[in-house]
Amino acid sequence: MTSFNNYPNMTGQSELTYNWGQPLSVWGGATWLVDTSGVDVWEDSNDSGVYEAGVDEPGPFDVVAAADTGTGRIVAYGDNAISDATLTWTNNDVFFRNLLRWVTENSNP
Ligand SMILES: [Ca+2]
């Protein structure tokens, strides 16, 4: 995916590779960080493995989001497969370093 919102000051990443993740519903005070615009994706509502118009929901989807509550920061990532292997895909490592920097920026050491 290459559609990045520049909140919160996410710089340096050009792509995020995502494997079997799920779309997020972003609302309230949260802001999307990455969506699937420009990528041919759909939510396979019936687990058939193929796109079926009228059954499956076409993209784009938000897949990473963040919120600053004023007392803490939260990042939601729609995939449970964050591992050393996925960090080496494209420049996922740059993206995750940016997320960690932002989440911990105002925390006590
Ligand atoms: Ca389907």
CA of 22 to the centre of ligand 1 (A): 14
Going from the Cα of 60 to the center of ligand 1, the distance in angstroms, rounded, reads: 16
**Average pLDDT score over residue span 85-89:** 79
**CB atoms near residue 95 (< 10 Å):** 24
pLDDT at residue 6, rounded to an integer:
74
Indicate yes or no: pTM above 0.85.
no
Model pLDDT for residues 39-71, shown as the tens digit of each residue: 788 888 999 999 999 999 998 999 999 999 988
pLDDT value of residue 34 = 86
Q: Give the distance (Å) from ligand 1 centre to CA of residue 58.
A: 10
- Going from N- to C-terminal start, the domains of the chain cover 3-104
CA proximity to 16, closest of 93, 83, 74: 93
> From the CA of 77, how far away is ligand 1's center (Å)?
23
More confidently predicted of 36 and 108: 36
CB 95, CB 3: distance < 8 Å: no
Lowest mean pLDDT among 2-6, 26-30, 79-83: 79-83
